[in-house]
Amino acid sequence: MPYPTPFVRASIGLSGTLLVLSLAACGDSGDGLPQLAPASGAALAGTCTDLVGKLSALSNTRIGTSTTVAAGTLKLAGQDVPEHCLVTGAMFSRLSSVDGQSYAINFEIRLPKAWNGRFFHQGNGGTDGNVVTATGSFGGGPTTHALLQGFAVLSSDAGHTAAQGSAFGIDPQARLDYGYQAVGKLGPMAKSVISTAPATA
């Protein structure tokens, strides 16, 4: 069945510029699906702690920490996950006028020192509420995951904490963030973090 509308494939370059790679309508023309250009990896330079200052201007975002995670700190199927930067923070912190609770979209981003040029947004499932380790793992005894393969990986709590339980649903914005808006806010921010990180091709 053909897709009803055209769509755009895009990627963020190291300079932070949005690069549109292809625009195509998927119909009965037989042209097939548009293809992304091969990823262009980079070696992150400098230190992870340098990122805190460089990311201070991100809109509606507070960076908490940016630290180096040594190779082997995380393991998967007996393999050492290579050295990477762990960036933590929160977006759109607010006090709800509806239920008096504090809300924010808390997140962590793991940036490999040897980045493969790709980004993985990790979902948590259920009612969310926790920032789980951003590895891009699918569970079930995996032998690899996105971080181990060199992806930059993002994880979030979708805008509320597990301690708030299902009561977060009283707040309309918390429901919207949990439903879909957190993803729309986090994606551009994460790509800005990735493109701001010092790198050389």
**C-alpha span between 178 and 172 (Å, rounded):** 10
78 — alpha (psi -120 to 50), left (phi > 0) or beta? left
Identify the weakest region by mean pLDDT among 16-25, 50-59, 118-127, 134-143.
Answer: 16-25
Identify the weakest region by mean pLDDT among 23-27, 61-65, 87-91.
Answer: 23-27
- Identify the domain containing residue 53 by its residue range: 42-200
pLDDT band at 195; cut points 50, 70, 90: confident
Over 90: is that where the pLDDT of 164 sits? yes
Q: pLDDT for 94-111, tens place per residue? A: 999 999 999 999 999 999
86 and 176 fall within a common domain: yes
Over 90: is that where the pLDDT of 38 sits? no
81 and 25 fall within a common domain: no
157 and 193 fall within a common domain: yes
DSSP labels for 148-177?
A: TTT-EEEEE-TTS-GGGGGGGGGSHHHHHI
To the nearest 10°, report the CA torsion of 109, 115, 121, 125.
-80
Q: pLDDT for 119-136, tens place per residue? A: 999 988 888 999 999 999
Q: Which helix (H) or strand (E) holds 182?
A: helix 182-196
67 and 15 fall within a common domain: no
What domain count does the chain have? 2
Over 80: is that where the pLDDT of 139 sits? no
pLDDT band at 15; cut points 50, 70, 90: very low
**C-alpha span between 193 and 201 (Å, rounded):** 17
